[in-house]
Amino acid sequence: MDLVQPTTKEVEIKGEVNQPGIYTVKWDATINDLIEQAGGLTEQGTSDALNLNRVVQENEVIVVAKQESNFVSINSASQEQLETLPGIGPSLAKCIIKYRNNQSFQSLEDIKNVKGIGDKLFEKIKDRIVL
C-alpha cells in the first residue's frame, strides 16, 4: 500500500486579520501565506511575535496579536519611529533628533520648541509621545 502525502491542510487563523477563519492551504504554506490568504493584517495587527517563514502545521491555530498602543519616545526614538506619528515626516523627524542631540526634552510640550511643530501638530501627537 502506497502512502500518499496530502497536498493541502486546514489551518485556523484568528485575531487581527481582515478575514479570520479556517483556511485550506498548500502543504508547505507559511504563516505569511496564511496571513495573506486571510486578507492581511488589520490596522491594529502586528506580526512581530510570529515567525512569518515558519511552515504551518495541520489543524494549527495561528493568533495574530494586536499592537500595543505605540508610544514613541521623543528622547530616544529612531527617525523611522518618529515618522509613525501623525504629521511627522522625514524632515520634522530629523529636526526632532537634531534638537534632542543638543538638549533632551524635559516635558512633552518641549517638542513645540522644534521648528515646524506648533500647537495644532502637538495636539495631534501628544497622546502618542512619551519622554
Please report the domains of the chain, with CATH numbers, ordered by start residue.
8-66 (3.10.20), 72-130 (1.10.150.320)
Rounded average pLDDT over 79-94: 94
Residue found under cell 528622547: 75
Predicted pLDDT of residue 118: 95
- pLDDT tops 60 at residue 1: no
Phi-psi group of 107: left, alpha or beta (phi > 0 → left; psi -120 to 50 → alpha; rest → beta)? beta
Question: Which of 43, 21, 23, 42 has its CA nearest to residue 33?
Answer: 23
- Report the DSSP beta bridge partners of residue 55: 30
pLDDT digits (tens, 9 = 90+) for 4-47: 878 999 999 999 999 999 999 999 999 999 999 999 999 888 88
Let me know how many helices (H) and strands (E) the chain has, helices first.
Answer: 4, 6
Quick one: pLDDT at residue 68? Answer: 67
Q: What is the mean pLDDT of the chain?
A: 92
Does the structure show a pLDDT above 90 at 69? no
